[in-house]
Amino acid sequence: MKRFAVLTALEIKKSIKALPKLIPGAILMIIIVLVIALGAKGILSDKPQIDDKDKVSIGVVCYDDSKMMELAKRILTSTKSITESIHLTFMEEKRAEELLEENRLMAVIIIPDNVVSDIMTGKNTPIDIRFSRNAGYEAAAFKEIADAAVNFLASAQAGIYSVYDFYNENNQSNYIDDALDRLNERYIKTVLLRESFFENTQVVATGDLDVMEYYCVSGIVLFLFLFGINSVTFTEGYRREAIVSLCITGTGIGRQHISRLCGIFIVYAVFVTVIIAGVCAGGYIDIFMAFKLILSMVPVLLSVSSIILFIQVLVENKTGQVMIIFFAAVFQSFVTGGFIPELMLPKAVTGVGKFTPAYYMIEQIKAVYMGSGKVLFNTVTLAAITLVFMILSYVCTKAGRKV
């Protein structure tokens, strides 16, 4: 046991001495990850701006000059969600027909006189909507919206009748007109003020995380794998003679690998702790969250360290080790949504991603950061992954396998 402790201490000391050599590569990889995150944020989160020429042009011919109709006009011309996609123009009927014939308007809405009061009293005077000959799916959608608005106003008739009955039964019929004006105003606003009537839900491809958070989480795992290139570049594995010599003196292959695992883990732990501390100092996360992230990263770092160790044991040539680590990092990042969000990938690809170590590393970080998820399950899974790769490393070394 004493020899094992000495060997472990030597591995840690060797790794710490190599830290200055790893800093330039680490900085470069962090820059690469940030560029990917910022680029993805620019692509996925920016809302497309609707140009005036892309707006739907609608002509409105209004013969109703009532107070309620004036209110409806003001609401329509000031509601942001309408003005962003529809260009409404109030005009004379003759001019509207000319523009419609020239296909310069998608539709013309002709509102008869007293239409609002007729709807409220049950007469339901129809509103005439005329479409251009080249109108596409927008026409069908617009017609459905208009019909829905009219039907909604018509359903308000029950409220109007209730006002009449209530005030007449209480001998206050002289207040009916004022009550109807207030009620009609509320109905008009309910129908036309879409922002308050509908609940807006923004759906993004990155799920519960925003784009920047999503790519930072994925980028952390990509960084951890790519950082393994530094580890294999500046550290040497054991020669066969050294392995045999250590076994003879009582430090078996399993203990040797545990010592090497500790050395790789310490390097990862130092860099990750510094990065999280920097993020905390920048005010992006609080101290409590930083502490939780550091603790939750322990199984993640152990699993990625075991993978790097296995590659070092499996392949003796450094160029081969670098290539395997690079392709493993890129492949796992792709199938787990590190480059293209998981929701935008085919199910076959995401199905493969769920069988990769990177998937559970990402899930672990997300679960801790979001404060929900299967933290225990991910921790146990990552521990199992670490054990599997340690066993594979043992088997390869025991068999003397070198590529």
188-202 pLDDT, tens digit each? 666 555 554 445 555
Pairing assessment for the beta strands 107-111 and 128-131 based on DSSP bridges: antiparallel
Please write the tens of the pLDDT for every residue from 292-350.
888 888 999 999 999 998 998 888 888 888 889 888 888 888 888 777 777 677 888 88
- Angstrom distance (rounded) from CA 83 to CA 312: 62
Q: Each residue of 114-124: pLDDT tens digit? A: 776 666 565 66
* pLDDT for the residue numbered 81: 59
110 forms bridges with which residues in the sheet? 61, 128
Computed on alpha carbons and rounded to an integer, the radius of gyration of the chain in Å comes to 34
Predicted confidence at residue 403, as pLDDT, reads 37
Residue closest to 361 by CA, chosen among 383, 391, 389: 383
Bridge partner list, 72: none
Q: Higher confidence at residue 128 or residue 195?
A: 128
Dihedral pair phi/psi, residue 108, rounded to 5°: -125, 130
* Mean pLDDT across 197-216: 60
Using a pLDDT cut of 70, give the percent of the chain over it: 64
Distances (CA, A) of 155 to 80, 144, 149, 159, 189: 26, 16, 10, 8, 15
What global pTM score does this model have?
A: 0.58
Computed from CA positions of residues 306, 308, 311, 316, in that sequence, does the dihedral angle turn out positive or negative?
negative
The pLDDT value recorded for residue 4 is 67
Written as one letter, the residue type at 280 is C
Domain 54-197 bears CATH identifier 3.30.1360 = no
Which among 315, 313, 217, 301 is positioned nearest to 266, based on CA atoms? 301
Calpha distance 146→183 (Å, rounded):
21
User: Hey, where are the domains in the chain?
Assistant: 2-43+204-398, 54-197
Computed from CA positions of residues 290, 294, 295, 297, in that sequence, does the dihedral angle turn out positive or negative? Answer: positive
Identity at 225, one-letter amino acid code: F
Residues 23-59: tens digit of each pLDDT: 666 676 667 666 665 555 555 555 555 455 567 788 8
